Structure 1
Amino acid sequence: MCTERMATNGTLPSKQKAAQFQPKDQTVHINEVPIPSIKPDELLVKVRSASLCHSDLMLFEPNDQGLNLGTGDPFTMGHEGCGAIVEVGSEAQGFKKGDNVGWLPIVDCCFECEACQVHNLYCETGQAKVQGMTVDGYFQQYCAVKWRNAAVMPDGMDLDTAAPLFCAGCTSFNAVEATKAELNRDPKETYVAVIGCGGLGHLGIQYLKAHGFKVVGIDLSPEALEEAKAQGADHVFNPKTDTNYVEEVRKLTGKGCHAAINYTNSVPAYSNAPDIIRYNGVLMVTGIPQKSIPFSAMDLSMLRLRVRGANNRRTDQLRDCLAFSHKHGIKPHVTQYKLDDFQQMLDTMHAGQHKGRMGVLFD
């Protein structure tokens, strides 16, 4: 992969292909677009791989979460990517040409306010945007990223498969770390259910097993459960076919799992999760349904259930995720496509017929 600012004529090409969302009719087209020019606080990266997140499907579906997605002019999709720096903005610190980097997708935030310390999307400026959701993202060969969002990848980490770590991976990692801290008990004597064993869940299982937790995988997809077992899940259940799975889970765990991490966007999955969690157990809210999720005030007030949340957080947590992933050999399972086959990749995700993550591998 090229890591210098050059093409065959000694300069960057002026144009590139990109998978762009068309807000007017909610379709995706492969368009020819300019190579971006970077601002002083940005890095120009030659993308090696970009991956599709289930959140990308929110562009095509209504939601009641107050998210205003996919409006205005066409923009390049994708908020998970990694590659090599070809140009460094004058204000960027700690980066050089040739560095392999990945990054978080929030732009037009201040990075400094109290809200940004929780999540940059809440920035008090009110201007924060998600690359790939409202402004250009990463399904293109060259992209501009904010240097404060970026992290240099550990030596030896594979660019071809690492893209999912920069949303699915860090979200899964943060959910596991938050669960571990909330439980504060010996992982070897602790059962954690992973609800949704796909893009985020198959990584969550790896992080949990690296800590020594006992893992119960739950999913409606046989392919996802097959991947869960491959990643080390101790037990797996399909509520569609294992009709007594609640009783079975409670029996094998004693009184129920000590925690459950829901990586799905399913309201029924959230509604059913308390049934497999023991008293005063933890439900980690990670997946975001299109509709609101109900919880019993009695359950929360009486400590029947502790509800917590996790997300991709900030760049310092991203660095922790990369270091942990590299140390423990945690890798996304990625099925690669060509950019011209983007619609096929979208259709496969819509149908739920994939294992792990899917992405585009650039030359």
Structure 2
Amino acid sequence: MAENASYFEIPKTCKAGCVIDEGPNFRVEVQDVPVPEPGPDQVLLRLNATGICYSDLHYMLNDLGFGPMSQFGVRSAGHEGAGVVVKVGSNVTTWKVGDRGGVKPCWNCCMNCALCWDGQHETYCEKGLQTGFQVAGTYQQYILSPANYTTRIPDGVDDFYAGPIMCSGSTIYRSLMESRLKAGDWAVFPGAGGGVGHMGVQLAKAIGLRVIGVDGGDEKRELCVRLGCDAFVDFTKVNDVAAEVMKITGHGAQGVFVTAGNAAAYASAPGMLGVGGKLMCIGLPPAGSCIVGAHPAEFVLKNLHVIGTKVGSMKDTDAAMDFAARGLLKPIYEKFPLKDLPAAVDKLRAGKVAGRCVVDFNS
């Protein structure tokens, strides 16, 4: 039986953004849902903030080919939650009421296989569960989290930073590490002004890379320049983005980090790379909508590498949090009150977000 919280009054119900008519015509409504009871090895978190990620939209659109979230009885998407522990299960000794914690895209994994043991790939565990798809997500204020897979939030990192870092920050950190780029190399970020891309720009600069941001519009340009991009290419004003990148770099970039989940970004990426370049696949397009585009000869003649990276591990998340604690990673976000969560989702779906949308559960 779970211990009673000493410092928090836990309600019977809480607010949650629930998907209605999942599929291409989905909408989100804020509804009352029951507050769950933690099992012996779980904690109950009261979230203060959640980021809104485009993967949430994919789950609600049901366009990735994974089947609907409703097959698991899940109605609330979201996987970027930050808050406080308000109740702990009877077996939990590593967390106490009042500790700050967060929930990531991977909700849990088996912790008993080679992937879970290597410190990098537990998010690929066959028994892993995805937050906001197979279990209730962070659009719900009170949610459960396995005690052994909940992320601690360090002092100096507020919840509105910590929420987006749970997914966007740790995901792009993992991709940067797997690219093995070194200081002075050129890194290109299609989608640089988006939720994942703008954190990639900051982390890339922090480790000494030269950065080219690719995105559309003056707002995205201003953001990318402010975050330290060495150059910016506006795809709405340049006919050939790859040619422009080649002009800037001389012989092509060492890495292209495709954070934008669309066909155009993946089609142009190989042409931006120099010999031995790494094409890092991060953004998820709808199923069947595109491929990584280039004739095989381009891959052969330029010795190109194509690497897909999923969300960050526990270790990656802690590392990204450390960058934030040192002031080197500052998520850019627009804050929405809980009642406007549906509007925030719609704004992201319309492609009108620079940085991240973050929902404040307490406003």
Q: Any idea what SS the aligned residue of 2:49 has?
A: strand
1:289-328 counterparts in 2 under 5 A?
Answer: 289-290=285-286, 291=288, 292-295=290-293, 296-302=295-301, 304-328=303-327
CA contact (8 A) 1:22 1:29 kept: yes
1:195-210 counterparts in 2 under 5 A?
Answer: 195-197=190-192, 198-210=194-206
Is residue 196 of structure 2 the alignment partner of residue 194 of structure 1? no
Q: Displacement of 1:109 after TM fit?
A: 3.4
1:30-49 counterparts in 2 under 5 A?
Answer: 30-49=30-49
> 288-297 or 112-121: which moved more?
112-121
Q: Which residue of 2 aligns with 1:70?
A: 69
Q: Which residue of 1 aligns with 2:16?
A: 18
Q: Which residue of 2 aligns with 1:146?
A: 146
Distance 2:132 2:60 in 1: 13
Q: Which residue of 1 aligns with 2:162?
A: 162
Q: Which residue of 1 aligns with 2:219?
A: 223
1:50-61 counterparts in 2 under 5 A?
Answer: 50-61=50-61
1:1-363 counterparts in 2 under 5 A?
Answer: 5=5, 11-23=9-21, 26-63=26-63, 65-72=64-71, 73=73, 75-107=75-107, 109-116=109-116, 119-120=121-122, 122-125=124-127, 128-179=128-179, 181=180, 183=181, 185=182, 187-188=183-184, 190-197=185-192, 198-290=194-286, 291=288, 292-295=290-293, 296-302=295-301, 304-363=303-362
How has the CA–CA distance of structure 1 residues 212 and 351 changed in structure 2, closer, same or farther, with 3 Å as cutoff? same
Structure 1 length-normalised TM: 0.89
Q: Any idea what SS the aligned residue of 1:287 has?
A: coil
User: Where does the alignment leave 5 or more consecutive residues of structure 2 unmatched?
Assistant: none
Amino acid at match of 2:76: T
CA contact (8 A) 2:233 2:244 kept: no
Give the length in aligned residue pairs. Answer: 350
Q: Displacement of 1:51 after TM fit?
A: 0.9
Report the aligned-residue RMSD: 2.3
Distance 1:265 1:172 in 2: 14
> 199-208 or 65-74: which moved more?
65-74
How has the CA–CA distance of structure 1 residues 229 and 335 changed in structure 2, closer, same or farther, with 3 Å as cutoff? same
Q: Any idea what SS the aligned residue of 2:69 has?
A: coil
User: Where does the alignment leave 5 or more consecutive residues of structure 1 unmatched?
Assistant: none
Structure 2 length-normalised TM: 0.89
CA deviations 1:87-124 (Å, max 9, x no partner) are: 22233353222111123233463122234456455434
CA deviations 1:70-98 (Å, max 9, x no partner) are: 22445222111111111222333532221
Q: Displacement of 1:302 after TM fit?
A: 4.9
CA deviations 1:164-207 (Å, max 9, x no partner) are: 0000110011112222x2x3x4x13x211011121000000000
